[in-house]
Amino acid sequence: MPRMSKKLKKELAFFLNDRGRRSYNGLCRKCQHECKQSFRAAIIDCPRYLSKRAKRRTPPNEL
């Protein structure tokens, strides 16, 4: 794995773990979208994430 430049390390400082590797939140690891969040962030609500146990949202015109 190539080393990161100083500029890239500063940009990704919030995402780097103790070993210097990029790591994302547990919910974002499996997500296919590009809106990944850091493992340090506490996710309160992600509009693109819908767990299997959550109730499905139905559009108003489908009733």
Instruction: Give 41-60 pLDDT, tens digit per residue.
Output: 887 777 777 666 766 666 66
What average pLDDT score do residues 4-29 get? 83
Distance, in Å, from the CA atom of 38 to the CA atom of 18, rounded to the nearest integer, reads: 13
**pLDDT score, position 50:** 66
pLDDT band at 16 (very low <50, low <70, confident <90, very high): confident
Are the beta carbons of 23 and 17 closer than 8 angstroms?
A: yes
Give the closest residue to 27 by CA, choosing from 17, 16, 37, 13. Answer: 37
Distance, in Å, from the CA atom of 13 to the CA atom of 30, rounded to the nearest integer, reads: 21
Query: Is the model's pLDDT at 6 over the cut of 70?
Result: yes
